[in-house]
Amino acid sequence: MPKVMMKVNGAEAAAEVEGRTLLSTYLRDLIGLTGTHVGCDTSQCGACVVLVDGQPVKSCTAFAADLEGAEVTTVEGMTNPDGSLSVIQQAFQDYHGLQCGFCTPGMVMSTAALLAENPKPSEEEIRHYLEGNICRCTGYQNIVRAVMAASGQDAGALAAE
Amino acid sequence: MHNFEFVKPSSVADAVAALANGEAQPLSGGQTLIPSMKARLNAPEVLVSLTGIAEMQGVSRDGGALEIGAATPHATVAREAASHFPGLAGLAGQIGDPAVRARGTIGGSIANNDPSACYPAAALGTGATIVTDRREIAADDFFQGMFTTALDEGELITKVRFPIPGASAYAKFLQPASRFALTGVFVAKYASGVRVAVTGASEDGVFRWAEAEAALSSNFDAEAVAGLSVPANGMISDLHGTSEYRAHLVRVMTQRAVRAAS
């Protein structure tokens, strides 16, 4: 089987893959980064979103063999160099932006992609951008608050639903 | 998913050679193909990735036309077409969700011709030219019904050339679970007349609404189509909407597109 090399969270990774090996399988089963969650495995829930060359990608819907040489960031790569939580992660904790936590890795990575593109998104822009990430606990209100806080905005002033 | 052999050529010529094997299929962004393979609706023996072919990437202006490499992701079109052709950029920015837009490509969407996909409406609504490895196909000849196109076996779309309209817009009534169009209408105004293409509605896939085109060509105003309607017969009917509802949406979304373009 061919060996596929990527840079994952800044470190070189390599693993032998089949054609059908998904990026999510590569990350979780082959290099042991289980922070990326596979929710639906049908491209609908967004729990498995990681960054590939800075772009949000559903890791269950990309083949590892197609990503030779890619730079991948997973939730494990989100902490600060000293191991403390990043601003986004801390905001999710502070504002209780998770209930069961299963969707959280995807939420955090999509938030990272959003804030890289749009550092001060409005509430509407946040809700629109996160539409591909499903929280089955329906904890969206606090997730949006967390993203507002992570972008340095007032998290208390959400529009009434 | 059944296993397959994965190949990743770096030129169109090598991709076409790899596709000459009858068991091979092209893989672009994979946002439709990979879920289909997981569901075992599709089981190619060889997948030919198009993501490493530089000549199939990018957005470029050529006089009055915008050329888009077939393997260009939706997110890139949404960003790079915005100053040249905002109607098309707006459509690309409404496809799926951000992660789908980062991988899914224009060529994949057009080649698949899903009856509810967005891009076929832009291609047909502008009279775009579908450029393949061996010929150029007018959009009017390309789309031949649900999931059916003029492409031959092993033929590869390399780029799509859009004549840039004076005004245009895409109005999409979102099916919020799939993020496809329950009904979407692309309206484009040219000196030669107005084109109106509808996706998501017909059992035959994307189509032009000739009556609305005639009315809007003489008066580019949403009120010009207020009294028009399309027959419900032949419209898609499913748990998301009846054929009558979709026929109604065709007019409503045409009016919204005209207002957005005006």
Cα gap A51→A55, rounded to integer Å: 5
User: What is the 8-class DSSP label of residue A151?
Assistant: T
Cα gap A69→B139, rounded to integer Å: 36
What pLDDT shows up at residue A151?
97
What pLDDT shows up at residue B158?
98
Cβ atoms of residues B243 and B182 within 8 Å: no
Cβ–Cβ contact B10 with A under 8 A: no
User: Cβ–Cβ of B100/A52 closer than 8 Å?
Assistant: no
Tell me if the domain spanning B167-261 has CATH number 3.30.390.50.
Answer: yes
What pLDDT shows up at residue B262?
76
Q: Which CATH architecture has domain B5-48?
A: 2-Layer Sandwich (3.30)
Give the number of beta-carbon pairs within 8 Å between A and B: 75
The three-state secondary structure class of A81 is coil
The three-state secondary structure class of A52 is strand
A160 has a pLDDT exceeding 70:
no
Per-position pLDDT tens, chain B of length 262: 999 999 999 999 999 999 998 889 999 999 999 999 999 999 999 999 999 999 999 999 999 999 999 999 999 999 999 999 999 999 999 999 999 999 999 999 999 999 999 999 999 999 999 999 999 999 999 999 999 999 999 999 999 999 999 999 999 999 998 999 999 999 999 999 999 999 999 999 999 999 999 999 999 999 999 999 999 999 999 999 999 999 999 999 999 999 999 7
pLDDT over 90 for what percent of chain A?
Answer: 94
Q: Is B2 left (phi over 0), alpha (psi -120 to 50) or beta?
A: beta
Of A49-53, A68-72, A152-156, B223-227, the poorest mean pLDDT is in A152-156
Cβ–Cβ contact B75 with A under 8 A: yes
pLDDT over 70 for what percent of chain A?
Answer: 98
A46 has a pLDDT exceeding 70:
yes
The three-state secondary structure class of A8 is strand
pLDDT tens, residue by residue, A12-21: 999 999 999 9
The dihedral over CA atoms of B105, B64, B186, B93, expressed in degrees to the nearest 10, equals: 40
What pLDDT shows up at residue A157?
72
DSSP string for residues in A86-144 = PHHHHHHHHTT--SS-SSHHHHHHHHHHHHHH-SS--HHHHHHHGGG---TT--HHHHH
The three-state secondary structure class of A3 is strand
What pLDDT shows up at residue A158?
78
Instruction: List, in order, residues 6 or more apart from B30 with CB less than 8 Å away.
Output: A61, A62, A63, A66, B103, B108
What pLDDT shows up at residue A161?
53
CA B65, distance to chain mean position in Å, is 17
A150 has a pLDDT exceeding 90:
yes
CATH class of residue range B57-163 = alpha beta
Mean confidence (pLDDT) of chain A: 96
CA of A100 vs chain B CAs: smallest distance (Å): 22
pLDDT tens, residue by residue, A105-122: 999 999 999 999 999 999
User: Cβ–Cβ of A132/B2 closer than 8 Å?
Assistant: no
pLDDT tens, residue by residue, A72-108: 999 999 999 999 999 999 999 999 999 999 999 999 9
- Per-residue HEC secondary structure of chain B comes to CCCCEEECCCCHHHHHHHHCCCCEEEECCCCCHHHHHHCCCCCCCEEEECCCCHHHCCEEEECCEEEEECCCEHHHHHHHCCCCCHHHHHHHCCCCCHHHHHHCEHHHHHHHCCCCCCHHHHHHHHCCEEEECCCEEEHHHHECCCCCECCCCCCCEEEEEEECCCEEEEEEEECCCCCCEEEEEEEEEECCEEEEEEECCECCCCEECHHHHHHHHHCCCHHHHCCCCCCCCCECCECCECHHHHHHHHHHHHHHHHHHHC
Every domain of chain B and the residues it spans:
5-48, 57-163, 167-261
Residues of B in contact with A3 (CB under 8 A): none
- Please state the φ and ψ torsions of residue A5, each to the nearest 5 degrees: -110, 140
Instruction: Give the model's confidence band at A142: pLDDT under 50 very low, under 70 low, under 90 confident, else very high.
Output: very high
B1: nearest CB among A20, A43, A57: A20
What pLDDT shows up at residue B21?
81
The three-state secondary structure class of A31 is coil
Does the predicted interface ipTM exceed a cut of 0.90? yes
- Please state the φ and ψ torsions of residue B46, each to the nearest 5 degrees: -135, 135
Strand order across the B24-27 sheet: B5-7, B46-49, B24-27
CA of B176 vs chain A CAs: smallest distance (Å): 9
User: Cβ–Cβ of B35/A110 closer than 8 Å?
Assistant: no
B87: number of Cβ within 10 Å: 24
Domains plus CATH for chain A? 3-77 (3.10.20.30), 87-150 (1.10.150.120)
